[in-house]
Amino acid sequence: MIHGKSKQNKDYTKRDILILDRTGQITVTLWYRI
């Protein structure tokens, strides 16, 4: 299962969109806001 961490250091599942940042880090874009 693919996991990613947002800028808020929260763990999200592959339900979120995983975007490869230019720095090589994985950023997560949520469809919704918590």
Handedness of CA 12, 17, 18, 23 (dihedral sign): negative
Per-residue model confidence (pLDDT) at position 5:
57
Extents of the domains making up the chain = 1-34
pLDDT tens per residue across span 1-34: 455 555 554 555 555 555 555 665 555 555 544 4
Per-residue model confidence (pLDDT) at position 12:
53
Per-residue model confidence (pLDDT) at position 34:
44
What is the CA angle 2-31-18, rounded to 5? Answer: 30
Q: Which residues pair with 5 in a beta bridge?
A: 11
Per-residue model confidence (pLDDT) at position 32:
47
